[in-house]
């Protein structure tokens, strides 16, 4: 099966967050590859990744970074493939720095920006699956089941511990 989702992150230290996206894709049986691609530390790797993404068959890129989080935006400048940005939570500024760095793209080069941290990464996995599900009925059915399972797990009333 062709790998249609690429998960990239600026550092090894982003993986505990970005693994949340990977785990969702595992649950939905969506193949992905994961790579460290830093806008600042490995700019040539970023360029090569973006330049070859379409020919490698990628359909969605999930990009997570923290602090001066330029990776998602730079990737969106290099490929037409939709980029979903995940602001990684930081110690200094709690991830607001990451969020602002990712979300405020100039007109013409969008990044679909998720919430800060683990929930944002998990939602990035779901968003990627939702995009692929538009042309994959079997995946659409798995996603529907996933959502129904989550709904069913929510109690109707709060309970004491
Ligand atoms: C960013 O700098 C990475 O995305 C990471 O969130 C942050 C810190 O990186 P490390 O110093 O932990 O490698 O480029």
How do residues 20-53 score in pLDDT, each as one tens digit? 999 999 999 999 999 999 999 999 999 999 999 9
What is the number of structural domains in the chain? Answer: 1
Query: Which of 7, 11, 116 should be mutated for ligand 1, with most atoms under 8 A from CB?
Result: 11
The pLDDT score that the predictor gives to residue 1 is 76
Q: What is the mean pLDDT of residues 101-121?
A: 98
State the residue range of the domain holding 105: 5-152
**What is the model's pTM?**
0.97
In a domain, 161, yes or no: no
The reply to whether ipTM tops 0.90 is: yes
Res. 161 pLDDT band, cuts 50 70 90: confident
- The mean pLDDT of the chain is 98
- Residue 83 sits in a domain whose CATH number is 3.40.50.1970
User: Would you say the CB of residue 95 lies under 6 angstroms from ligand 1?
Assistant: no
> Is 77 assigned to a binding site?
no
| Count of helices and strands (H, E) across the chain | 6, 5
CA distance 30 to 3: 8
């Amino acid at each position: 099966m062709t790998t249609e989702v690429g998960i990239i992150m600026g550092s090894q230290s982003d993986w505990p967050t970005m693994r949340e996206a990977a785990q969702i894709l595992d649950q939905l049986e969506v193949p992905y590859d994961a790579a460290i691609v830093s806008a600042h530390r490995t700019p040539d790797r970023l360029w090569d990744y973006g330049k070859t993404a379409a020919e490698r068959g990628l359909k969605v890129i999930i990009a997570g970074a923290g602090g001066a989080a330029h990776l998602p935006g730079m990737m969106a400048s290099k490929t037409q493939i939709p980029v979903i940005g995940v602001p990684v939570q930081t110690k200094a500024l709690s991830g607001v720095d990451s969020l602002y760095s990712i979300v405020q793209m100039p007109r013409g080069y969008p990044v679909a920006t998720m919430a800060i941290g683990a929930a944002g990464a998990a939602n990035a996995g779901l968003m990627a699956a939702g995009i692929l599900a538009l042309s994959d009925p079997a995946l659409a059915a798995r996603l529907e089941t996933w959502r129904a399972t989550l709904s069913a797990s929510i109690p109707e009333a709060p309970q004491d511990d």
